[in-house]
A = this chain, B = another copy of it.
Amino acid sequence: MTDKLESRKAAARQWFEKLRDEICASFESIEHEAIGESMYAEMTPGSFEQKSWTRPTQDGDTAQGGGGVMSVMRGRVFEKVGVNVSTVYGEFSGQFRDQIPGAKDDPRFWASGISLVSHPRSPLMPIAHMNTRMIVTTKHWFGGGGDLTPVFPVDADTRDFHGAFKLACELHDTGFYDEGYYPKFKAWCDDYFYLPHRSEARGVGGIFYDNLNTGNWQADFAFTQDVGRAFRDVYPSIIRRHLNEAWTEQQREAQLIKRGRYVEFNLIHDRGTKFGLMTGGNTDAILMSLPPLAGWP
């Protein structure tokens, strides 16, 4: 069992890193496609810069550790996009033991995942977030999802984004949830990415899932992989749809305000951000999701 779990952890970690490489390559190629009459003609295409970090540990404490790699591109189409891949392990401190499944009696954990937030320069292109992860305590499970935050929602974008995740859900639905993966995970996303203090949704949704362990690890991993692939393929196609659209100063203003709401959600409500900051995660990596510029005029 231990050997099998170890090989699964290794496989999940390798996948997250491979997915990161594929997405970064795809985004970089878009940077080069924006040419000619577009708003980016005068600007230089961006490329990702990587920075690795290690989890600070006490000298000689081999039970805690790990780290990650932040990949950030400050480009012309992607004004700021960050992709974090991290694999960390250790012991949960007291306050988390009761909250995390399987951590009550044995606080040891291992976690690996990819998380991405994209802030395009154009206010006509949607902000996007994607994250998938595998967590191991005395239990083990997958979680993740993706959601889209347009400043000005476009039906085709919303339809394509949901369609891609719906397909991944339907291909891998094990029947574990009575209502079906897509309805369940779509509703979960709407519920999670909501700003109660503004009485507004963060965007047009997507899917969100957590604690997924159907008893069939291969099926859960294959689903998680296809969630990543769905995002890898659909978001670039949405970005390309708007590649040659010009925008106005007013639209840019509206974008800065929408980005302000994004900041509010991430700093006030997002569990991942809170969890990361409270468990001594890497602040730069955790807050890489924040927009390059935001406004509260």
Contacts and interface: CB of A to CB of B under 8 A. Distances in A.
A295 B297 contact: no
Contacts of A283: 197-198
Interface in A245-297: 256, 260, 263-264, 267-268, 277, 283, 286-287, 290-297
A57 B69 CA distance: 50
A80 interface: yes
B296 A287 contact: yes
A74 interface: yes
Contact of A260 (B256, B286, B290): B290
Nearest to A268: B267
B297 A294 contact: no
A293 B294 contact: yes
Chain copies in complex = 2
A277 B195 CA distance: 11
A266 to B, nearest CB: 9
B296 A291 contact: yes
A44 to B, nearest CB: 16
Most buried by B among A260, A292, A296: A296
A166 to B, nearest CB: 33
A287 B197 CA distance: 10
Given A197-B283, A277-B197, A74 B297 contact: yes
A256 B277 CA distance: 22
Nearest to A264: B267
Interface string A173-197: 0000000000000000000000001
Contact of A263 (B74, B267, B277): B267
A197 B286 CA distance: 10
Interface in A200-254: none
Nearest to A294: B294
A292 B287 contact: no
Contact of A294 (B268, B286, B295): B295
Contacts of A291: 296
Contact of A295 (B268, B286, B292, B296): B292
A293 B297 CA distance: 7
14 contacts: A80-B297, A197-B283, A256-B293, A263-B263, A263-B267, A263-B294, A267-B267, A268-B268, A268-B277, A287-B296, A291-B296, A292-B296, A293-B295, A294-B295
Interface of A: 74, 80, 197-198, 256, 260, 263-264, 267-268, 277, 283, 286-287, 290-297
Closest 6 CB pairs of A and B: A267-B267, A290-B296, A197-B277, A293-B295, A197-B283, A292-B297
Given A197-B286, A264-B267, 15 more contacts: A74-B297, A80-B296, A80-B297, A256-B293, A263-B294, A264-B287, A267-B267, A267-B268, A292-B295, A292-B296, A293-B295, A293-B297, A294-B294, A294-B295, A294-B296
